Structure 1
Amino acid sequence: MTTADDIFDQSAGNIERLGLREIPFTESPIDLESETLNHIFTGREKELGQVFNLFQSRERRRILVYGQIGIGKSTFLLEVLSVLRRKRPKMLTAYISLPANLDLATTALIAVAREMSDDNWAQSQLYQMGIPTDKVVKERSAEVGVNAVATSKISEKDLPITKSQYPTVSLETLLERAQNKYPDGVVIAIDDLDKQNPRQVRQLMHDAQGMLKGRAWFMLTGHPQGMAGDLLTSERGLFDLQLPLKELDSQTTYQMLINYLSSARIDNDCTDRHDPRCVLPFTPEAAKRFCAISLGKPRLFNRLGNAVLSTAADLQVDKITSDVLDRGLKAASRTLREQAALNAREEQVRLFLAQRGSLSDEAIAIEDLEQLGFRSFSELMPYLERLEEADLAQRGDRDDATVYESLPLLSGENEDELEDPDDTPDEVVVTGLR
């Protein structure tokens, strides 16, 4: 009789048959303290240089990192903070993903207070907002008795849980305390502004202008559409650097695959891109196809990688050939659709886009819009954006038109894009979609 333990051992054995300790692909941002981040982060040298140039100045700066969904903004942000923690130990670095329905000042206050675990005042700020702390925080008071000799007794009680009434002032006070311990300054990284309603984001930015120009460095990430508006343009001078992240080129994507695999490979640390062992368990041909199909988008790269390796493990093979890759991509296509949980209208748009290959505001016919039940391309846009968010479509990189293309995952659907990474120039070239 097969037990659950037997099934677990079989599953682990299937991964080991591929020469791996584990599946290295992950959609979630790598922990800031993890060595894995340093091992797998690939490319973005130009963008990192632009950011780190600002950190050579005494003046506090404000940096906006923006790009399409799944392009690697969170990982880029964490890589910057990871480097700063190593190179600037006298600088406090704080990271937080923007919570729903919370202003930026309170968000920044929480991020910094979490990093100051030995500061009682910082911990009391968290405690009063109902956020768990490592320390038990009590409110102390003295009870004085009047006798022949005055007596007093100290009593303690839990602090009340309340919303911070003046988060900007509290943040300023906390930053003053932080700078006594961290003379090189404080960096506050607020991620995922693009997960909020664009109108709400613009209001948050409007309310936070004074805070952003205060005592700390700020790094924020967001989607270009969600971050649009006058507050983010150079005429307001809110950001010292507005840094766009684009798709990775084929050479960098291939190196990223090498880095991911070598971080989990058993008894094989090959990273020489000219050595076929560097992409095992992929064959070089399958590795090149996999990188081309992932379109230089880190999140899609990780999603596809998970599906392909899981499929290979289920098949109990020791190599990922083109045939195994195709079967993994078919599994990934099903998984992406299931995870998207599209409603009937969204599924209708997805099928129409897959049939046509691409849709644009410049070329779409009135008959096409009417067939889908829309009066204009602007009404169709939210559905296309939803497909892009689910990695079921891609937005083309054109200045003269808004273009959405279907996402080809199966064999032969995008062979024209299967360029050899070794034919790419040595320098990193950031390119858009074709």
Structure 2
Amino acid sequence: MSNADDIFDQAKGSIRRLGLTEIPFTESPTGLGSQTLDRIFTGRENELRQVFKSFQSRERRRILIYGRIGIGKSAFLLEVLSVLERKLKETLTTYISLPPELDLATTALIALAQAMSDDDWAQQQLYKMGIPINKQLKERTSEVGGNMGITAKMGEKDLPIIAPEYPSVSLDTLLQRAKEKYPNGVVIAIDDLDKQNPSRIRQLMYDAQGMLKGPAWFLLTGHPVSMTGDLLTTERGLFDLRLPLEELDFETTYKMLINYLSSVRINNDCTDPDDPRCVLPFLPETAAQFCQVSRGKPRLFNRLGSIILSTAADLGADIITPDVLRKGLQTALPTLQERAALTFKEERVRAFLQRNGQISDETITIDDLEQLGVRTYAELLPVLERLEAADLAHQPRQDDTKTFEPLALLPSDIAPE
């Protein structure tokens, strides 16, 4: 074996020394229909109840799931769709992440066409847009010639790649075709609207009014800044259900840690919170501290969990002791900063936030704003929200003010529950 083979075996062995087959934490939820997601998904019972109650109506519903970036919207959406796939017979369930620069009608058309792989017309729509399909589609041509008699020459050529001129009309046509095979309806889920510019999302929502009121169930996820303040979601009643997702409480976060670890632990699938074995290789003490610093944010939970286990493996540890946990969390901050690839301005704001402990529209001074290179707090907000999206800042629940705090990663920096 080569040295590289040895290094691979050592890396695998260091994880198995922790009693795990692999590191279970992942920033992106597993895909639709994943048994892994069903096993590790935790909490949100009240929110699930509200969504599923909407599906007891014959009338098609429009549901908006909103919350800050990293709060677990995608995992929630995929869990909803996984249940609907099992429970709603003769219903087609589709999922797509909103691609850059596409309108909602074209996005929905793509999602539906990809789910209807046995429908030639649906596959034509994808092929014409340059989206790969399983079979090659050709356009038939013919030539007629000859002086006295008529001769015909048949031929084939690739269909041209063109964007649909009227995607909403094409979507309506495809929905009608889908209803023939799926008489109980179609569910179209469009994820990741919060990864687009808020002003663009508002325009997309205005443009999609007719589509969203069409003959399908629609589930969308987005950020409250770009979605819930819009007239479409308040005065015009475009959505039948507007469902906010908040941070998970400590008990739910602890249970989520148990589910993640039990899914990969070797010869130990304990899930009883009262049994210390359920959080191995964490100790109950370090498991609680880890859940506390992750603040009930699923993405931060996954990012920190991965870094902590990697650090423990590098140290050759078999248990996450308080010292191992601290070293993992000390590694986390520079790792998150590196991943964020902050601009000079963003780094200046992050350093200011770290020094001052808090920034809000009520406490910041004119001198502070000048030091940060902005004139108003409103100009500063996008930078602070960018830091929060990178898990380098935290926005505690505030009713009247926009307050941001630095991410406190060491257990000693966080007040006890």
- CA shift, 1:66, in A, is 0.4
State the TM-score, normalized to the length of structure 2. 0.97
The answer for the alignment partner of 1:17 in structure 2 is 17
CA offset digits 1:320-352 (Å, max 9, x no partner): 011100111111111101011112221111111
Following TM superposition, by how much is the alpha carbon of 1:29 offset from its aligned partner in structure 2, in angstroms? Answer: 2.1
Q: State the partner residue of 1:272.
A: 272
Tell me if the contact between 1:94 and 1:115 (Cα under 8 Å) persists in the aligned partners.
yes
Counterpart of 2:74 in structure 1 is 74
Counterpart position of 1:254: 254
**1:41-100 Cα shifts (integer Å, max 9, x gaps):** 000000000000000111000000000110000111100111111111311111111111
Q: Deviations over 1:365-408 (max 9, x none)?
A: 22322332322211211111111011000112111111001100
1:27/1:299 contact within 8 Å kept = yes
Whole-Å separation in 2 of the counterparts to 1:360 and 1:391: 18
Deviation per CA, 1:218-256: give whole Å up to 9, x if none.
Answer: 011111012244433332010000000000000000000
* Match in the other structure for 1:129: 129
8 A contact 1:206–1:231 mirrored in 2:
no
Distance 1:96 1:10 in 2: 38
1:87–1:151 Cα change, 3 Å: farther
Q: Which moved more, 1:284-293 or 1:377-386?
A: 377-386
Q: Which residue of 1 aligns with 2:406?
A: 406
- Which consecutive segments of 4 or more residues in structure 1 shift more than 6 A? 145-151
Give 1:269 shift: 0.5
| Paired amino acid for 1:248 | L
Per-residue Cα deviation, 1:248-291 (whole angstroms, up to 9, x for no partner): 00000000000000011111010000000000000000000000
Which residue of 2 is the match for residue 48 of structure 1?
48
- Of 242-251 and 392-401, more deviation after overlay is shown by 392-401
- Measured after TM superposition, the shift of residue 316 of structure 1 is 0.9
Could you tell which deviates more after superposition, 215-224 or 342-351?
342-351
Helix, strand or coil at the partner of 1:265: coil
For 1:33 and 1:142, the matched residues in 2 are separated by: 45
Q: Could you tell me how far 1:34 is from its partner in structure 2?
A: 1.8
In structure 2, the partner of 1:374 is 374
Separation of aligned partners in 1, 2:50 and 2:302 = 26
SS of the equivalent of 1:71 reads coil
Deviates more, 1:252-261 or 1:87-96: 87-96
Greater Cα shift, 354-363 or 371-380: 371-380
Deviations 1:152-189 (A, max 9, x none): 55432111111110100000000000111111110110
Q: Give the alignment's Cα RMSD to 1 decimal.
A: 1.6
Q: Name the counterpart of 1:5.
A: 5
- TM-score scaled by length of structure 1: 0.93
> Aligned runs of 1:226-265 on 2, under 5 Å?
226-265=226-265
What SS does structure 2 have at the residue aligned with 1:412? Answer: helix
Structure 2: distance between partners of 1:113 and 1:32: 16
Q: CA deviation at 1:150?
A: 6.8
Question: What is the percentage of aligned positions where both structures have the same residue?
Answer: 68
Shift of 1:144: 5.5
The superposition leaves residues 102-146 of structure 1 with CA deviations (integer Å, 9 ceiling, x where unpaired) of 111000000000000000000000000000001111112455567
Cα deviation for residue 355 of structure 1 reads 1.3
Once the two structures are superposed, the pairs formed by residues 103-182 of structure 1 within 5 Å of their partners are 103-143=103-143, 154-182=154-182
Task: Indicate the residue corresponding to 1:101 in structure 2.
Answer: 101
State the Cα deviation string for residues 279-311 of structure 1 (Å, max 9, x = none): 000000000000000000000000000000000
* C-alpha contact (below 8 Å) 2:66/2:73 kept by paired residues: yes
**Is the CA contact 2:194–2:223 (under 8 Å) kept in the aligned structure 1?**
yes
Q: What runs of 5+ residues in structure 2 fail to find an aligned partner?
A: none
Partner of 2:30: 30
Query: Aligned residue for 2:299?
Result: 299
**Which amino acid is the alignment partner of residue 268 of structure 2?**
N
- Pair 230,308 (structure 1): closer, same or farther in 2 beyond 3 Å: closer
**Structure 2: distance between partners of 1:279 and 1:147:** 86
Return 375-384 or 125-134, whichever deviates more: 375-384
CA distance in 2, matches of 1:231, 1:137: 43
Alpha carbons of structure 1 residues 2 and 163: separation in structure 2 relative to 1, 3 Å: closer
Q: Which one-letter code corresponds to 1:227 in the other structure? A: M
Q: C-alpha separation between the residues in 2 aligned to 1:34 and 1:113?
A: 21
Q: Is the 8 A contact 1:202 1:231 kept in 2?
A: no
